[in-house]
Structure 1
């Protein structure tokens, strides 16, 4: 992280969590990018997760995401932890649930910080913790007729 400064622009914003959602509707890169706009941010990192046509050497035909009723609360907890660990000016995260096709956006997260290194680190922490800690499960259906749940305990 960059050295601390007394300038307010170098500090985390008072209310940096701008957008958190789990939705059945298509996701928008523009919406997420706009949500993290901040004049004091010198770096904005954005991650987009898309549905790919393969996994583990098998062809994926379709998949669906489902979530626990408290998934948004867990998403908030993950976001709050990132905000506590980095000088975040603005943060946004949206995840799709329901049936998705190859190429659809499954998750979009973005973080803006005073400097690029902080933005990259915070964005990576956000997506990694979201994937590991928020109870969202993926049900993949393969072209050979098999299927698999990912993330379900």
Structure 2
């Protein structure tokens, strides 16, 4: 199980190719990319080193226990990211496909709503901090006791 908070870009293909999933029958990967919605030109992402990794590691451990993961990797960028750049990646390996898909979704829902990141959108109207969205909270709520 691995959590990496990265300032530098990562290569999703290389990450998937180098992912060790011994004993798994399924590997699911998801890569989130910065969208250019509404003229967005970039995101700036801040976090508290140490706290962010610890919080995400706890959620990865919860996913491992819930879904029987044999391996997992979460990568999330910080700093300035331009439209089209990968912002995050989740890799989940499990004995069976359903568990791998559910674990990846669980981790993505957690990252979107609870991971301690602060995002600022840069666009034609200036800079705007991104507020929590009701639909992200609802997505996390489907997992019951997720923290």
State whether TM-score is above 0.5.
Answer: yes
> Where does the alignment leave 5 or more consecutive residues of structure 1 unmatched?
1-16
Match in the other structure for 2:129: 149
For the pair shown, which has the larger CA radius of gyration, 1 or 2?
1
TM-score (norm 2): 0.82
SS in 2 for 1:118: helix
Deviation at 1:76, TM superposition (A): 0.7
Match of residue 22 from structure 2: 39
Q: Could you tell me whether the CA contact under 8 Å between 1:75 and 1:134 is conserved in 2?
A: yes
Which of 40, 49, 70 is 1:60 aligned to?
40
Cα distance in structure 2, aligned partners of 1:111 and 1:59: 33
1:28 counterpart (11, 17, 20): 11
List alignment gaps of at least 5 residues for structure 2.
133-147
Q: How many residues matched?
A: 131
Secondary structure at 2:23's aligned position in 1?
coil
SS in 2 for 1:21: strand
**In 2, Cα distance between equivalents of 1:35 and 1:136:** 26
1:88 aligns to what SS in structure 2? Answer: coil
Runs of 4+ in structure 1 over 6 Å off: none
Structure whose residues are more often helix by fraction = 2
TM-score by structure 1 length?
Answer: 0.79
Between the aligned partners of 1:44 and 1:88, the Cα distance in structure 2 is: 10
* 1:67-98 residue CA offsets vs partner (Å, 9 max, x unmatched): 12311111111111111101101100010001
- Give the deviation of 1:30 after TM superposition: 3.4
> Who is 2:87 aligned against?
106
When the two chains are superposed, the root-mean-square deviation of aligned CA atoms in Å is 1.6
Identify which of 51, 57, 79 aligns with 2:60. Answer: 79
